[in-house]
């Protein structure tokens, strides 16, 4: 399993109709897990904590290992609103925007 984070330009932000400052992507798919000190879930949290209000996050993942319902819970707990959510039962894509302060 690996995780990639991209900071992209405004074109994608405008595409999702957001006025946010940044766009981030977290990839929870792949075949192999990370090392002890480099784990996808830990990096997800690190990204969540680094985002500011109106920043937009796209999460792409696999249902069997990172169930989208749980990922949505993680995002909600950190003050994100879900903008889009699509799943084919195996993989999913969630688009969320930071709107408030998380529980952490």
Partner 1 sequence: MKPGSSELREYFPAIGDGLVYLDNAASTLKPRQVVDAMSVFALERYANVHRGVYRLAAEATRAYDEAHSIVARFIGASPREVVFTSGTTSSIHLAVQLLLHNNIVSKGSRIIVPEDAHHSLLLPLARLARYTGSSLTIVPVNDEGLPEWHRLDEFLDADVSLVAVSHVSNVTGYESPVREIARKAKRYGALVLVDGAQGVPHIPVDVSDLGVDLLAFSGHKMLGPTGIGVLWIRGSLAEEWEPPYGGGGTVRDVSISGNRVEVEWEPSPLRFEAGTPPIIEAVGLSEAVRLLSRIGMESVAFYEARLTRVLFEELSSLEGVRIVGPADTRLRRGIVSFGVGSVDPDLIAVLLGQKGVAVRSGHHCAIPLHKRLGLVRGTVRASLYVYNNENDISIFIETLKSIINKL
Q: Which residue has the tokens 């920043």?
A: 55
Query: Which one, 41 or 55, has the nearer CB to partner 1?
Result: 41
For 37, other C-beta atoms within 10 Å of its C-beta total 6
- Cα atoms in the Cβ-side hemisphere of radius 13 Å centred on 34: 15
Taking CB under 8 A as the criterion, the residue among 7, 52, 64, 89 binding partner 1 is 64
One-character DSSP codes across 34-57? -BTTB-HHHHHHHHHHH--TT-EE
- x/- mask, partner 1, residues 37-56, rule CB under 8 A, reads --xxxx-xx-----------
Residue 9 or residue 100: which is nearer to partner 1 going by CB?
100
Contact 54, 18 (CB under 8 A): yes
**Near partner 1 by CB under 8 A, which window of 9-17, 49-57, 59-67, 80-88?**
59-67
* Residues at the site binding partner 1, with contacts judged by CB under 8 A: 1, 33, 36, 39-42, 44-45, 64-67, 69-71, 73-74, 77-78, 102-104
């Amino acid at each position: 399993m690996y995780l990639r984070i991209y900071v992209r330009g405004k074109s994608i932000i405008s595409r999702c109709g957001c006025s946010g400052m940044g766009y981030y992507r977290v990839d929870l798919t792949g075949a192999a897990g990370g090392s002890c000190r480099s784990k996808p879930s830990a990096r997800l949290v690190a990204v969540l904590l680094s985002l500011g209000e109106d920043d937009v996050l796209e999460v792409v993942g696999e249902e069997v290992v990172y169930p989208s319902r749980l990922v949505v819970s993680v995002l909600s707990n950190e003050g994100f609103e879900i903008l889009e959510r699509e799943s084919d039962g195996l993989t999913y894509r969630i688009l969320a925007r930071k709107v408030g302060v998380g529980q952490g």
